[in-house]
Amino acid sequence: MEFLSFLSIDYGTIILVLINTLILFLVIKHFLFGRVNAIIESRQADVSKTYEEADKSMTHAKELEANYNELLASAKDESAEIVKKATKKAQDRSDEIISSAKAEASGIITRANEDIEREKQRAMSEMKNEISGIAMMMAEKIIKKEINQKDHEALINDFIENVGDEVWQQK
């Protein structure tokens, strides 16, 4: 059996160990570091993707919130508009009712005044006739003579005509 000396430099060993080390290096580089780094990188990619998605969701949620706020504001505006419109309509309607009621009332009042006027006229002409009758009778009695009714009627009527108007009312 051949032994090398305890402290020796052997070229065969150096070359073969160099080759062995290189082979082991390639295996470790490719199978250990290559595979594990790939896994770690893909995991990191996953994590960053998840973060990205979360950010995206956050942005989307904020957008939705803004939209919602906008909608809410516009709904408020709209409802205010509706209330305003309804109020105006009610106002118009009430104005209309009031004005028609006023017109009706004034019509009623006018008619009533006309009635009153008519009644007054009638009463006045009745009174005139009566007064002229009474005056005739009184004159007949006072002057104790036949009066030509035909001659004096015009005179008396003229007097009564005047009596019924301003002269009487001034008294």
Partner 1 sequence: MGFRLGAEEVVVNGPKVAFKIFGLNVTETVILSWVVMAVIIGLVLFMTHNMSKDHPSKKQIVAEWIVETVNGMVRDAMGAKNLVYAPYMATIFSFSIFGSLISVLGLRPVTGDFSVTLTWALMTFFMIQYAKIKNDGVLGYIVGFSKPIALLTPINIISELATPVSMSIRHFGNVASGIVITQLLYFALTSLSRGLGMEAFPVFTIGVPAVLSVYFDLFTGFMQAFIFTMLTMANVGAAYPEEEQTAG
Comparing CB distances to partner 1, the nearer of 25 and 168 is 25
The binder of partner 1 chosen from 13, 87, 100, 162 (CB under 8 A):
13
**Separation of CA 3 from chain center:** 110
Confirm or reject binding of residue 17 to partner 1 (CB under 8 A). Answer: yes
Q: Which amino acid is at 33?
A: F
How many whole angstroms separate alpha carbon 2 and alpha carbon 75? 101
Nearest approach in angstroms of CB 19 to partner 1 is: 10
How many whole angstroms separate alpha carbon 134 and alpha carbon 140? 10
- Classify residue 56 by its DSSP letter: H
Confirm or reject binding of residue 7 to partner 1 (CB under 8 A). Answer: yes
- Mark 18-57 with x for binding to partner 1 (rule: CB under 8 A) and - for no binding: x-xx-xxx-xxx-xxx-xxx-xx-xx--x-----------
How many whole angstroms separate alpha carbon 4 and alpha carbon 6? 6
Binding site for partner 1 (CB under 8 A): 1-18, 20-21, 23-25, 27-29, 31-33, 35-37, 39-40, 42-43, 46
